[in-house]
Chain A
Amino acid sequence: MIKNKKVTPESTKKPKMVIEINNLSKGFDDMQVLKKLSLKLYDGENLVVLGKSGSGKSVLIKCIVRLLNPDQGTIMVLGENVSELKSKKLARLREKIGFLFQSGALYDSMTIKENLEFPLRRIKKKLSKKERDKKIEETLEHVGLADTLHKMPSELSGGMRKRASLARTIVVDPMIMLYDEPTTGLDPVTSGGISALINDVQKKYLTSSIIITHDIECARATADRIIMLKDGEIYMEGNIDDFENSTDEVIQSFFKQKA
């Protein structure tokens, strides 16, 4: 692993840790996807995880919310060991984590309003209907989709679906955001818009985020710190300048290819 100077959001302050992963291993059949991986996410930080397809990026964040069970290692999220949580406690922890899926994963039998209402009804149970409607309208306005309230997901473009999906994730005020390839399949202009939105969300909702991507522009726009995965292990850690100035062949080939 190539390790550059330790980069934390505000290294002088001793930032609070929100996610701590130690020796995480995960495999499928004969293939080992993650190999004793360790990483930390600090409060208020945008951590970008770069890597080629199949390097284990998505598996990593799916393990964090326990959509996949790790074979080995510990994952501490907001001070709780995810692997040891019973279903009720896990559900409560998941309420604090927003997960933006690669495909958007909007419920296609529901309108955009119903999509946002779905988690809101279950997580913010105390909100009245009026408060719920107001919250939905505000969130959709924030992502620039105020006029799509009664539209079906199939009526939206790819970029709009990503925004709607992001709105559904942030409507419940999560503390941690996990983005799985947020700009994949989008044109450069729309991708730029999504990257800006990720930064907006961090500022407005004070979230800590892990952004899984292989889009260098997205990494450049959003990253406080970058980790590059290769064959299930951390290959390099640093900020965008460290990566761009790196003379390592693998890093160079990745950055040149994507430039």
Chain B
Amino acid sequence: MSINTLVVKQQVIKLSEKTIEKTKEANVFFSGIGDFFLFLWKTTRETFSLNFEFNEFLRQCFQIGYKTLPLISVTGLIMGLVLTIQSRPVLVDFGAVSMLPGMVSLSIIREMGPVITALICAGKIGSGIGAELGSMKVSEQIDAMEVSSTHPIRFLVVTRVLAATLMIPVLVLYADALGILGSWAGANIKGSVSFVLFFNQAFRVVDFMDFLPAVIKTFFFGAVIGLVGCYKGYSAGHGTESVGKAANSAVVLASLLVIIVDLIAVQITDMLL
């Protein structure tokens, strides 16, 4: 056998090995997508089942909503403050400083408030759910639930997804309000504007159709964060390492999906309005 034939043979072997490896990776990727949609289907089916776990749902609303308030308060205030401090010099240059309240409130209500709040929630809530469910999976608590005639998806997943879907819009509205408050505080650092005048100017430019699409998309943000957190936790492997991985990948995937959902929502809003 000539040297050339040997080299070609080796190259073919290498190529086939790489092809097999890539095929396996693709298999894992597509089966992951399939698993996610199966999980989504099971969650949807259990959402409409008769035995709704109302007490657990309320507990999750408290965990997701109330316990995230301090973080959202700080973020909302700083968001408004920073946006005002950054925009003011440019508007002063153009002699348009009177437009500052309207500009800031519009950007907070339409985009900054929903997206920043959702990203913060993806970090806090997504990782929390992912780690909690992941550790329950690893320590066989989910199996224990299943053998004691409790549907784990109904008890653990539906309650968390619904709580996130309902609580994140509330948190976004709260963050919007604090953002505008922070903006008023920012406007008063280098200037002087009364609270009433600032809010009058802020809401003069905002109409219902600025507000509505922004609120609607936050329900989807909530659903995505809850679902991804639950899915990652629920599908955690064995051992404590997988709990960390579940929490981490929940944050990464939820944040990415929030941005993608935002892009789709903006496109739809743009087409409709």
Contact = CB atoms under 8 A, between A and B. Distances in A.
A195 to B, nearest CB: 21
A172 B148 contact: yes
B128 to A, nearest CB: 12
A103 B140 contact: yes
A235 interface: no
B21 interface: no
Interface stretch (A31-39, A91-99, A199-207): A91-99
Nearest to B141: A105
A105 B149 contact: no
A108 B139 contact: yes
Contacts of A92: 149
A105 to B, nearest CB: 4
Contact of B147 (A99, A106, A109): A99
A97 B147 contact: yes
Contacts, number: 50
A105 B143 contact: yes
B148 A108 contact: no
A122 B147 CA distance: 12
Contacts of B241: none
A108 B141 contact: yes
Nearest to A101: B140
A119 interface: yes
Interface-centre pick from A67, A102, A168 (highest chain B CB count, 10 A): A67
Contacts of A107: 136, 141, 144-145
A101 B143 contact: yes
A123 B143 contact: no
A109 B139 CA distance: 13
Interface string B123-148: 00000000010011001110111111
B269 interface: no
B149 A67 contact: no
Nearest to B63: A109
Size class of the contact patch on chain A: 20 to 34
A108 B146 CA distance: 16
Contacts of B136: 107
Contacts of A118: 148, 150
Contact of B148 (A62, A94, A103): A94
B149 A91 contact: yes
Given A103-B139, A105-B139, A108-B139, A122 B144 contact: no
Contacts of A91: 149, 151
A166 to B, nearest CB: 12
Contact of B144 (A95, A105, A123): A105
A92 B139 CA distance: 24
A122 B149 contact: yes
A65 interface: yes
A125 to B, nearest CB: 11
Interface in A78-133: 87, 91-92, 94-95, 97, 99, 101-103, 105-109, 118-119, 122-123
B148 A101 contact: no
Contacts of A101: 140, 143-144
A105 B140 contact: yes
B50 to A, nearest CB: 11
Contact of A67 (B135, B141, B146): B146
A123 B147 contact: no
21 contacts: A62-B143, A67-B143, A67-B146, A87-B151, A91-B149, A91-B151, A94-B147, A95-B149, A97-B147, A99-B144, A99-B147, A101-B143, A107-B141, A108-B135, A108-B139, A108-B141, A118-B148, A119-B149, A122-B148, A123-B148, A172-B148
Interface of A: 62, 65, 67, 87, 91-92, 94-95, 97, 99, 101-103, 105-109, 118-119, 122-123, 168, 172
Interface of B: 132, 135-136, 139-141, 143-151
Given A101-B140, A119-B149, 8 more contacts: A65-B147, A67-B147, A91-B149, A92-B149, A102-B140, A105-B140, A108-B135, A118-B150
Q: Which 9 A-B pairs have the closest CB atoms?
A: A105-B144, A119-B148, A105-B140, A91-B149, A99-B147, A101-B140, A105-B141, A65-B147, A95-B149
